[in-house]
Amino acid sequence: MIVSSSLISSVSPWLRTLGVATAIGMAALSPASAQQRNPEQKVGETVLDQPAQSYRFEHFVLDSPDKARRWRVNIGVPAKASATPAPVLYMLDGNAAAMVLDQSMLADLAAHAAPVLVFIGYDNDLRIDSPARTLDYTAWIDTADDENGTSQSSGGGAYAFLDLIERRIKPEVQRRASIDLQQQSLWGHSLGGLFVVSTLYTRPAAFQHYVSASPSLWWSQGAPLGDMERQFIANTQGQPAQVTVMLGGDERTGNRGVRDMTNPRVVAHLRRIGGATPDAAQQLATRLAKVPGLTVQYREFPGLGHGPMLPASLKATLSQLYGIADRSGTPAPAP
């Protein structure tokens, strides 16, 4: 079921008309930041490191052509072989995603649809690699002032990253596990949710189910709400796909709690995320629901902000796709 209200413009009009001071104040009511509060948080032990029970795990590492970047892909394969090809879930921010799962969830998955689980991360021990994901998950270059008032540009690597998934990661996964190519799903949160949206726009046949959790639609002054969306809606020929958009209730209402407006970094980031209204993801779901061939679901998590939406949305996705118990609950606030 789609929860909907009025449509939004491709770029928030108030950003063009209000003064900087007013815009900053209003941005404090915007959706939560895609940046991590603790960018140095380590992964620690996860199911990937534990003895195999219902799932066995293996991994491979890919280098960029210039050897400057490395991606680590972990694959979870049900320990009990199935006579039929398995559905597969590709998860962005693979290190963080692995921290969400536990052995009871894996046992539940193995007893139901027994999907192959693919964690696409980076070859380090960081929960979130902010610089790497900022490049890989964004189809648009974002230029904005940092806390020192210096203009900085970042992003724009989503097309190359999608090529990496399609041409290198998927073939290797299919070599290691029996995959049902008609049951491929992609999940991402924040900038990862934005990547899910741009993948739907540019290669809608790459996956059959797209799960975009708390997508950073504010990126590049709201560019994701502009021409690419309009072209996708206008040019689609009924390519079938299931789309799920998830959003925390506190994100939609703009409830950000207390923010330190004396911190230049906070102010700079709040200015950036003013590129979309707090309910932009909800409104996007409403528009996509009108596209022929798409089956769209919008789900909201009451009381949750941006950070807690990562584990909640992944748990909900596993329940929705594979029929296990919904463990999303109400996670503790992000540290």
Tell me which of 209, 212, 251, 300 is the catalytic residue: 251
Among candidate residues 12, 190, 313, 328, the one labeled active-site is 190
Closest CA to 132 of 169, 96, 88: 96
Give 142-176 pLDDT, tens digit per residue: 887 667 777 778 899 999 999 999 999 999 999 99
Confidence of residue 236 (pLDDT cuts 50, 70, 90): confident
Q: Which amino acid is at 196?
A: V
> How far is residue 146's CA from residue 34's CA, in Å, rounded to a whole number?
15
Domains of the chain: 13-322 (3.40.50.1820)
The 10s digit of each residue's pLDDT in 169-196 is: 999 999 999 999 999 999 999 999 999 9
Which residue among 12, 306, 319, 328 is the active-site one?
Answer: 306
Active site residue 269: no
What pLDDT was estimated at residue 19? 31
Active site residue 172: no
Tell me the C-alpha distance between 220 and 87, whole Å: 34
Phi, psi of 83 (to 5 degrees): -80, -15
* pLDDT of the residue at 12: 32
With pLDDT > 70 as the criterion, what percentage of the chain qualifies? 84
What is the pLDDT averaged over residues 127-137? 96
- At residue 263, the pLDDT reads 79
| Cβ atoms of 118 and 93 closer than 8 Å | no
Compare 109 and 334 and report the one with higher pLDDT: 109
What DSSP character marks residue 45? S
| Angstrom distance (rounded) from CA 236 to CA 276 | 24
Residue 331: predicted pLDDT: 55
306 tagged catalytic: yes
DSSP helix/strand/coil, 181: strand
Reported as a single tens digit per residue, the pLDDT across 4-49 is: 332 222 223 323 322 333 333 333 333 333 334 577 899 999 999 9
- CA distance linking residue 15 with residue 241, whole number of Å: 33
**Bridging pattern class, strands 141-145 and 151-155:** antiparallel
Determine the 3-state secondary structure of 142 from DSSP.
strand
Average pLDDT over residues 64-80: 95
Answer whether residue 261 shows pLDDT above 80: no
87: phi then psi, degrees, rounded to nearest 5: -65, 160
pLDDT value of position 275: 85
Tokens of 227: 């021409």
